[in-house]
Structure 1
Amino acid sequence: MRYLLLLLLCLPLAALALDYRVEIDAPQALQPLLEENLDLLQLRSDDSLQERDLEAMLESTPAEAKALLETEGYFSAEVSVQRDGQLVHVRVNPGLPVTVGQVNLQFSGAVTQVDDFRHFIEAAQAGWTLPHGAIFRQADWDDSKKAALRPLLLERFPRASITASRAEIDPATRSATLTVSIDSGPLVRYGPLQISGNERYPESVIRGQANFREGGDYRQQDILDYQSSLEKDSHYSGVVVAPLWEQLQGDRVPIGVTVSEVKRQKLELGLNYSTGDGPGVRLGYEHYNLFRRGYTGSVVYDWKHDRQKLDLGLALPRETGGYSHAVNLHVSHEDVLGTQTDSRSLGVFRIRQVGNIESRLGLEYVLEQERDHGVLSRDSKALIASYGWTQRAIDNLLRPSSGYLIEAQVASTVGELGSDTRFQRGYVRLANYWSPDWLHGTLVTRVEGGQVFAADGSQVPTSRLFKAGGAGSVRGYQFESLGVKNSDGTIEGGRVLATSSIEYQYPVTQNWRAAVFVDAGDAASSWQSLNLATAYGVGARWLSPLAPLAFDLAHGNRDKRWRWNLNLGLAF
């Protein structure tokens, strides 16, 4: 018997762990609050729990439950705990909730002296989530206090603080009187910019992008916009913009800007291949400090056996409000299905980037010649004014699963000035990534359409007409092989365009997705003659560290042929 007792004492503590169940009898809306927070439930799996610990918890549970219920507005709850062997019953009668009877917002400090003081009061009231008659909940009380303070912090009074807050509960009337006192502190203005890390490029590149000036009223949005603008600037790989509060002098706070610069020059070489276009080479060169003024010069040459393209660009640094300016010279030659096109264009552009929205206003002069099997068929020139608007909102550029693209363009010749004919052109493209919970994967959809309005379509530059086919358009067909077919088999651009695509991507591993898709589209001389070419196929997506890499094998139903493409980048 002595050895048996000794053996029992040596048993692991886990074998003697308490085993009990808890049943909570409470309104359904309050069940999760109690189940997720009561010690009685949270510590049940603790192997070190002993009988005396359980007894202590049974005794403290009523007070603990009442404290939890008060956070939801129930200040007269009745809670009882009863143990029946290994079963613990917790019964809760929450009673009636306390509602908000009166709200007092009190402001002091410099904000009371500004002309638009009423604006701050209205902004605080608009964000308040506990109006008269609402159930008093602790989370809403905390959120309301933050909402009342936020308008001051965002604009002119970033040193504002809550000096006092009270919630007086009257159990007899089940009402709460709420009082919040806010001291705005001083009205803060911008001090000087303090720039560090800038060595290769002139400070004017940094200073010119601030949409505020020394002495202006502080706004947090100004700082965020300034940070965003500098992050998009090609001169810098890293940027931090922040107020230097430790250097606050009077009402002026300096703004610190720390940048990490990219190298002054960049050379890029790219190789690509597809069944429709064959091998290709892309060579690019950029210089980020032309004339020692921070201007960016670029040269890009693209070569494929059936088309070559040279782009020369000059981009000026961003200015206040997100504006920048650019000049571009474009020269290209194409030989697609017997049609040779030589194009030259010179354009000037005013570009604005705000958040994920880019707008572009341009003026271009275009010269083009087109030959069908060596015979000149088109010789056109045009002076074109254009406007483009693009919003690209993607959750993750490397692993896209949600987001959209909206792109719209309008263009018109400037009357007959410098042009062979008058024409107007419109184009729109919509695309979307969608990954709902019920769909194990991602659905990628795309539609695009366009139309050219012209009295004489034969005088419209080919680059302003439409063709379809190839990656990013209708897979399963050669690049730009869908258009207006001439009697000799050559393909010309059409006045109208319509394409669409739907693709399902299934995650195979963390970095690989399988894809199935259906594409359709065509370009034609009119909507009546539009005859959609369809295709279907399968593909693989590798989510590489650089960008998604897509391999597609597609069957074009019109010519009954399989073609494959390899493409780097997003689906739009």
Structure 2
Amino acid sequence: MSVALAGVAAPASEAYQLDLRMPGASSDLQSVLKGASLLVQEASAEGKDGQDVLASARADYNRIVSALFSEGYYSGVVSIRLDGREAASIPPLDAPASVSRVTVSIQSGPKFHFSRAAVAPVAPGTKLPEGYAKGAVAKSGVIVEAADAATSGWQDVGHAKAQVASQNIVADHRASVLSSEIGIDPGPLVTFGRLETEGNKRLRTKRLREMAGFPAGERYDPKKLDKMQARLRRTGIFSSVSVTEAQAVNPDDSLDFTLSVVEQKPRKIGFGAELSSDAGLGLSGYWLHRNLLGGGERLRVDSAVSGIGGTTGGVDYSLGARLERPATFNPDTSAYLETELSRKDEVDYEQNAFDIGFGVSRIFSDKLTADLAIKYGVSRVTDSSGTTFFRQVYLPGTVTWDGRDNKLDATDGYYAQVGFTPFVGLGGDTGTGAQLTGDLRAYRGFGANDRFVLAGRLQLGRVFGSTLEETPRDYLFYSGGGGTVRGQPYQSLGVQVLNGGTLKTGGTEFVGLSGEARFGITDTIGAVAFYDYGYVAGGGESGSQAGAGLGLRYKTGIGPIRLDVGFPVKGDTGSGAQIYLGIGQAF
């Protein structure tokens, strides 16, 4: 095979003409070799003098041979000529002033297979790469993977200083086979020793150690170090977290570590916006202090205004604050105090509310979290039937499993959140009962780079115990709008059973279904087709609605910008198009 790549002449320095010859090489091997060669990558670049070309040519000998080894070719012959002279024979200080023609000839030779593929000793449970076996193609990378897997296997069971002790790799060029023997030195069984810390300035060292949760005295396990670093990064206090192990094991077979951190600026401000043709414009913002009292305490103040220019009531307001202390009971449990003032001006009612409470959140793993709180809430609701006061103590609890590959733009994985909130009424207008909710999502990508994604969502809700009249409005369910059924007006589906059937309110039962087909048009632009369904019931009445439509997505560093246009397809709660604009996928 011969490939000619010609450059365009430049007044100062012409690009060289490249003649690339790879006789007998498969298309896959050709692609690997081209990717390894600097001369191929720079063939059309102008401004390269002879010294530059010679430097690339001398580097290409090793790069091309290494690429051949990576594919199992150990008898390859590489020739690189610069205007007819073998590049390897040109002294570096005698480079030509310019090069007009480069000829690269690669004879790959036969493909080698393993005649022996051994590594020992191996820790129990170690999984070696499948390609490291007698008869398999003898790729050099597989040998490295086998050595890494063997050492990692010993480290996973407590041998922190496991390393490769010997290598015996012999190529038989006559038989085109490779014999590989790797010897491993597991080293001693190690426990975690002392932890030194550095880099913290505003955060107290004692609190840094508490948040890190260093497992001193326990058997060495690299996963525990990874968990410690993830734990510290989650706090948001640090821009950098790194752990370095000591060079040598202590006489008692313990191993010391150094934790190095770099603190972020303590304060942060953020803003958000969302636009819907029926609910109007929503604006939100927050102010955050990452280390309020020097112990990693996070104070966050949130404010939001929604319904600006909407047709589903007036303007809603909320102002809340949350003070959270990480590593309160153990390194993975945070405690918090939070409070919120809010006002809702909906089509059928107005509500002023105040909530305050204490809670704890626990991170069990990278995917599993739980939250439990005890709170007091009071609200005044005004509608056509008059004014009602709700007062209750409630215990909101949630368990969340998040197995998505990307929280803002998932292409694979599952998400599940279950919430259970028992509440006890403290007045004649408020009943006693419980709210149960569920939010289940699934994602599956297809094609190169998951350019086509199917996404589905199931939402469930039910109120038990209290009657519809005695249930605080925030525990009832509506359907319609961007979070439930796109194409239907916001909270357009409820029930009309109070006050003789003339007053609409939320229901005590809810089911929501959503499906999306997401198509990647370019690397940054995508299209979405969606269908949503909602069902609400309560007080002996029920109803359903559905909507469908199309959307556009524009990917940014903070998530895709979302534009959806939905239309009603079932139910009598709406007509005409509804438009939704926000950041992140709909779910």
TM over 0.5, shorter chain:
yes
Residue 570, structure 1, aligned to residue 585, structure 2: yes
Query: How big is the shift at 1:498?
Result: 0.9
1:402-442 Cα distance to aligned partner (Å, 9 max, x none): 33322111232369999943323221112233221288532
Report what 1:244 is aligned to. 245
Q: 1:151 to 1:418 in 2, by over 3 A?
A: farther
Structure 1 stretches lacking a partner, 5+ long:
1-13, 24-32, 50-56, 74-97, 107-119, 169-176
Partners in 2 of 1:413 and 1:483 — Cα distance? Answer: 22
Question: How do residues 235-384 of structure 1 correspond to structure 2 at under 5 angstroms?
Answer: 235-236=237-238, 238-246=239-247, 249-250=250-251, 251-304=253-306, 305-318=314-327, 320-353=330-363, 354-373=365-384, 375-376=386-387, 378-384=388-394
Q: What is the CA RMSD across the aligned residues, in angstroms?
A: 4.4
Query: How big is the shift at 1:316?
Result: 0.5
Partners in 1 of 2:487 and 2:138 — Cα distance? Answer: 60
Query: How big is the shift at 1:163?
Result: 3.3
Q: 1:215 to 1:371 in 2, by over 3 A?
A: same
**Count, aligned residues:** 491
Query: How big is the shift at 1:344?
Result: 2.3
Secondary structure of 1:221's aligned partner? helix
Query: How big is the shift at 1:553?
Result: 1.6
The one of 199, 202, 217 equivalent to 2:201 is 199
The one of 499, 508, 515 equivalent to 1:502 is 515
Larger radius of gyration: 1
Report what 1:111 is aligned to. none
Partners in 2 of 1:379 and 1:212 — Cα distance? Answer: 50
Report what 2:417 is aligned to. 407
Is the deviation greater in 473-482 or in 211-220?
A: 211-220
Query: How big is the shift at 1:363?
Result: 1.9
For 1:242, the aligned partner's letter is V
Is the contact made by 2:507 and 2:536 (CA closer than 8 Å) also made in structure 1? yes
Structure 2 stretches lacking a partner, 5+ long:
1-16, 27-67, 85-104, 171-178, 307-313
Partners in 2 of 1:248 and 1:400 — Cα distance? Answer: 43
Report what 1:538 is aligned to. 550
Query: How big is the shift at 1:158?
Result: 0.7
For 2:525, the aligned partner's letter is W
The one of 492, 510, 523 equivalent to 2:536 is 523
Partners in 1 of 2:423 and 2:433 — Cα distance? Answer: 6
Is the contact made by 1:388 and 1:408 (CA closer than 8 Å) also made in structure 2? yes
Aligned residues with identical type, % of pairs:
20
Q: 1:104 to 1:162 in 2, by over 3 A?
A: closer
Report what 2:505 is aligned to. 492
For 2:335, the aligned partner's letter is H
Residue 392, structure 1, aligned to residue 402, structure 2: yes
Residue 468, structure 1, aligned to residue 479, structure 2: yes
Is the deviation greater in 421-430 or in 496-505?
A: 421-430
Report what 1:483 is aligned to. 494
Partners in 2 of 1:344 and 1:370 — Cα distance? Answer: 12
Partners in 2 of 1:287 and 1:19 — Cα distance? Answer: 61
Partners in 2 of 1:16 and 1:266 — Cα distance? Answer: 56
Q: 1:463 to 1:204 in 2, by over 3 A?
A: farther
Partners in 2 of 1:424 and 1:154 — Cα distance? Answer: 45
Is the contact made by 1:433 and 1:444 (CA closer than 8 Å) also made in structure 2? yes
Query: How big is the shift at 1:255?
Result: 2.4
Is the contact made by 2:493 and 2:544 (CA closer than 8 Å) also made in structure 1? no
Partners in 2 of 1:279 and 1:472 — Cα distance? Answer: 15
Partners in 1 of 2:20 and 2:476 — Cα distance? Answer: 79
Report what 1:441 is aligned to. 452
Is the contact made by 1:397 and 1:570 (CA closer than 8 Å) also made in structure 2? no
Is the contact made by 1:226 and 1:241 (CA closer than 8 Å) also made in structure 2? no
Q: 1:226 to 1:18 in 2, by over 3 A?
A: closer
Q: 1:401 to 1:19 in 2, by over 3 A?
A: closer
Is the contact made by 1:18 and 1:47 (CA closer than 8 Å) also made in structure 2? no
Query: How big is the shift at 1:551?
Result: 1.4
Query: How big is the shift at 1:129?
Result: 6.9
For 1:562, the aligned partner's letter is A
1:363-385 Cα distance to aligned partner (Å, 9 max, x none): 22222332213712x43333223
Partners in 1 of 2:149 and 2:201 — Cα distance? Answer: 42
Partners in 2 of 1:334 and 1:22 — Cα distance? Answer: 71
Is the contact made by 1:286 and 1:297 (CA closer than 8 Å) also made in structure 2? yes
Partners in 1 of 2:124 and 2:376 — Cα distance? Answer: 52
Secondary structure of 1:381's aligned partner? strand
Partners in 2 of 1:225 and 1:460 — Cα distance? Answer: 42
Is the contact made by 2:333 and 2:361 (CA closer than 8 Å) also made in structure 1? yes
1:26-61 Cα distance to aligned partner (Å, 9 max, x none): xxxxxxx99965699998999999xxxxxxx99x99
Partners in 2 of 1:138 and 1:21 — Cα distance? Answer: 19
Q: 1:548 to 1:141 in 2, by over 3 A?
A: closer
Query: How big is the shift at 1:497?
Result: 0.9
Residue 157, structure 1, aligned to residue 148, structure 2: no
Partners in 2 of 1:556 and 1:276 — Cα distance? Answer: 13
Partners in 2 of 1:361 and 1:104 — Cα distance? Answer: 50
Query: How big is the shift at 1:233?
Result: 0.8
Is the contact made by 1:391 and 1:406 (CA closer than 8 Å) also made in structure 2? yes
Query: How big is the shift at 1:563?
Result: 1.6
Query: How big is the shift at 1:221?
Result: 1.2
Partners in 2 of 1:478 and 1:365 — Cα distance? Answer: 32
Partners in 2 of 1:157 and 1:544 — Cα distance? Answer: 43
Report what 1:560 is aligned to. 575
Partners in 1 of 2:411 and 2:131 — Cα distance? Answer: 37
Partners in 1 of 2:352 and 2:154 — Cα distance? Answer: 60
Q: 1:274 to 1:18 in 2, by over 3 A?
A: closer
Q: 1:167 to 1:323 in 2, by over 3 A?
A: same
Is the contact made by 1:189 and 1:217 (CA closer than 8 Å) also made in structure 2? yes
Is the contact made by 1:36 and 1:42 (CA closer than 8 Å) also made in structure 2? no
Is the contact made by 1:129 and 1:143 (CA closer than 8 Å) also made in structure 2? no
Is the contact made by 1:239 and 1:257 (CA closer than 8 Å) also made in structure 2? no
Partners in 2 of 1:180 and 1:549 — Cα distance? Answer: 52
Query: How big is the shift at 1:156?
Result: 2.8
Partners in 2 of 1:400 and 1:17 — Cα distance? Answer: 42
Partners in 1 of 2:509 and 2:379 — Cα distance? Answer: 20
Secondary structure of 1:289's aligned partner? coil
Query: How big is the shift at 1:351?
Result: 0.7
